[in-house]
Amino acid sequence: MHHAAALERACRAQSSPAHKNVLELDRATSIFAVRRGANDMIERVVLESEGCKLVGRLHLPQGASATSPLPAVVIGGSWLTVKEQMAARYAERLASDGIAALTFDFRGFGESEGAPRQHESPAKKAADFVAAARFLAARPEVSRVGALGVCASAGYLVKAIAEHALPVASLVTVAAWLHDASIVRAFYGGEDGVAGRLAAAARASADETIPAASATDPRAAMFGPFDYYLSPSRAAIPAWRNEMTTRSWHDWLSFDPIALGARVHVPSLHVHSRAAATPMGLERMLATMREPTPRVIWRDGDQFAFYDDEPTVRAAASDAAAFFRETLVEGGAR
C-alpha cells in the first residue's frame, strides 16, 4: 500500500498543470469517444501502470461489441515518441482490417503522468506494456490480445514477454531496433563514445535534457539529418517534445533485448529491411529463438520508411494483420 502510494506521488510530482487537467477530465469521464470514422471509432482511455495514469487511444473497428469480440493489439513506436506518431499509423491500418488496436503514451511522455519527463527507461516501458495489455484484455469488445512493436518498442516487448509474462498470444516487430553491447558501440562512437555518454548521464540532474534529435547539436540522442523527427509534416508535431533526459543514456545503453530473445515463447513475426537501422540485431536475436519458430519478412525501405512512408507502412501493417488474424482468432496458431 505504501509502495503504491509512493509510486503515485512520484508519477504526479512533476506533472504539468496541463497534464493534470487532462487526467482529471479522464478520471471524471473514464472513457469518451475522440472520433468516429467510416471504419472505426477511436476512444480516449486511461489506464494505470505502477501508480501512473497512462493516456491512450483505443481504435475499435466498426461493429466491435461485447457480443462480437475481436482480436486486439497493443502498439508502441520508437524511443522518445508519442502515440500520435508511428504507432497511430499502424493502429489505423489494423483497425481498418478488423483488429482493435491500443496506442498509449508511456509514463513521462505525451499526455501520460510520470516524472521525470522525457526519460527513456526500457524497464518502465516494458512494465507499461504489461499494464496496457491487461487493460486491453479486460475490454468486453476484445477476444485475444497480441502486441506490435515498431523500432525500439520491439525490444521493450521482448523484455515484457521474457521478464514479465506479458499477457499476449503473439508478437509482431516492425523495423525492430535491437541492440547489444557491440551494436551500441558501433552506433555511439565506440568505447569512448559510450563512456562519454555514460559519464554525462552520471553528472546530470534528474530533469536535465538534451535534444532527442538534432542536425546541429552533437549532444542529441539522434544526431544527424533525421528529417522524420525534425519535419513538422512528419513527426515534429505539437504532441511530441524534442527532448530526452541526459540520464536516459544509462538505461538505454545498458539495455540488451537480444539476450532475452530465447525467452520469447509466443508465435512471432518480424518485418524488417536490410537497409534499416539494425537488421543485424534482429538476426542475432532470431538465432537464439527456438519454439515456436519465428517468422521473418524482409521488405525494402530504410528505417524511417517503416514510420510514415505510406506504401511501406501499408505493406508492413498488412503482414501484421494477416499474422494476427492467424494467431489471435480462436483455434489459430498458439
CA triple 271-260-285, angle to 5 deg: 40
Q: Is residue 216 part of a domain?
A: no
Give the domain range for residue 158: 2-179+256-328
| pLDDT at position 10 | 59
Q: Is residue 196 part of a domain?
A: no
pLDDT band of 330, cuts 50, 70, 90? low
Give the chain's domain count: 1
Helix (H) / strand (E) element for 101: namely strand 100-104
pTM of this structure: 0.91
Q: Looking at the DSSP assignment, which residues form a beta bridge with residue 41?
A: 36, 60
Span 275-281, average pLDDT: 98
Q: Is residue 146 part of a domain?
A: yes
- Please, what is the end-to-end C-alpha distance for the chain in angstroms? 37
Q: Is residue 195 part of a domain?
A: no
Q: Report the CATH number that the domain containing residue 97 is assigned in CATH.
A: 3.40.50.1820
Give the pLDDT confidence of 122-149 residue by residue, as tens digits: 999 999 999 999 999 999 999 999 999 9
DSSP state of 120: -
The mean of the pLDDT values for the chain is 91
Interacting residues of 135 by C-beta distance below 8 A, sequence separation 6+ = 45, 47, 56, 102
Q: Is residue 266 part of a domain?
A: yes
CA quadruple 53, 57, 59, 64: dihedral sign: positive
Span 173-186, average pLDDT: 98
Give the pLDDT confidence of 68-112 residue by residue, as tens digits: 999 999 999 999 999 999 999 999 999 999 999 999 999 999 999
Q: Is residue 217 part of a domain?
A: no
Joined together, the cell numbers standing for residue 325 give: 488474424
Q: Do residues 150 and 174 lie in contact, with contact meaning Cβ atoms separated by under 8 Å?
A: yes
Give the pLDDT confidence of 291-302 residue by residue, as tens digits: 999 999 999 999
Q: Is residue 102 part of a domain?
A: yes
Q: Is residue 244 part of a domain?
A: no
State the Cα–Cα distance between residues 118 and 106, nearest whole angstrom.
10
pLDDT band of 2, cuts 50, 70, 90? very low
Between helices 122-137 and 152-164, what is the axis angle to 10°?
70
Q: Do residues 76 and 150 lie in contact, with contact meaning Cβ atoms separated by under 8 Å?
A: yes
